Amino acid sequence: MRQLVSGLLFALLWASAAVATKFGIKAADPLILANVRFFLAGGGMLLYAYLIRKGQHALPKGKEWLHLIVFGCLNTTVYLGCFVIAMKTVSAGIGSLATATNPLFIMIISALWLKRPLKWYEVTGMFLGMAGVAMATYPLLLDSHATVGGVVILLLGMFSVSVATVYYARINWRLSSLVINGWQVFLGGLLFVPITALFANFEASRLDTQFWLSVGWLILPVSVVALQLWFYLVRKDAVRASLWLFLCPVFGFLYSWMLLNEPITWYTFAGTILVIGGLYLAQQEKFRKQSAIPQNQ
């Protein structure tokens, strides 16, 4: 029961990121929203690690700084930067749906990185996932709820975070996950400063209550609570944990319909089913191995 509640809560919170971003960029430029979030989230984690839990976490040394900069650039600067920019011209539902395709990108990139030949169901799953995103997006392109450029930026972000995930897995980290996450978000924010300084519209931005509520939601319920729930689910059962990702686009479209009045059509349902089917097909080997394990082990 605890895993069920944790899984549902994770999906509910994780899927809310796109809607929270939408509310935030109504008050301020997307670049400003992103940078404020990066510095508060990253700085908060580092303060907790080095002040509140003083002496329990080591500082990065030598090449660890390079690894953190590369990881932060891919995982924060490019990925989250692309995500928040894309939300200006893409519906929140599509944002949630695209995020759910992350395991497919990771699978392809990991296979190429390790020079492992892709299996037929992995390739088919990837094509189904991309076809699902295209199908769900099609009617939104016609009624100005999405643009081709916005979808391309969103998918570029998905590619970047997938490369970051594979890169992270290949490094033999000495640092704790809290310190790694804190530094990569903070350093990613520093790398994002020149972009914000050059291209953000400061005059049209207002740091009002709506802006701070959006930032607060993205930091606490999404970045802190949802991630902790995810780590708990992965520790319990990594394969079954991935099943909860399938619910994220469902909740994402529901949020966008209820809170932002974004349309839900038969294309939405068909596209979501294709994405979920592609995810399941691409990971069927993991599920098959899991089912082969005796239940008493």
Domain coordinates in residue numbering, the chain = 29-90+147-205
| Residues 186-230 pLDDT 10s | 999 999 999 999 999 998 889 899 999 999 999 999 888 887 787
Taking CA atoms, 146 is separated from 139, 196, 274, in Å, by: 9, 23, 19
Q: What is the pLDDT of residue 208?
A: 92
Is residue 47 over pLDDT 50?
A: yes
Taking CA atoms, 39 is separated from 70, 98, 189, in Å, by: 17, 25, 6
Q: What is the pLDDT of residue 238?
A: 59
| Residues 48-87 pLDDT 10s | 999 998 888 899 999 999 999 999 999 999 999 999 999 9
Provide the token pair at 126. 């990837």
- Residues 6-25, mean pLDDT to the nearest whole number: 90
| Residues 109-128 pLDDT 10s | 878 877 778 777 778 887 88
Distance CA 275, CA 127 (A): 9
- Residues 79-97, mean pLDDT to the nearest whole number: 89
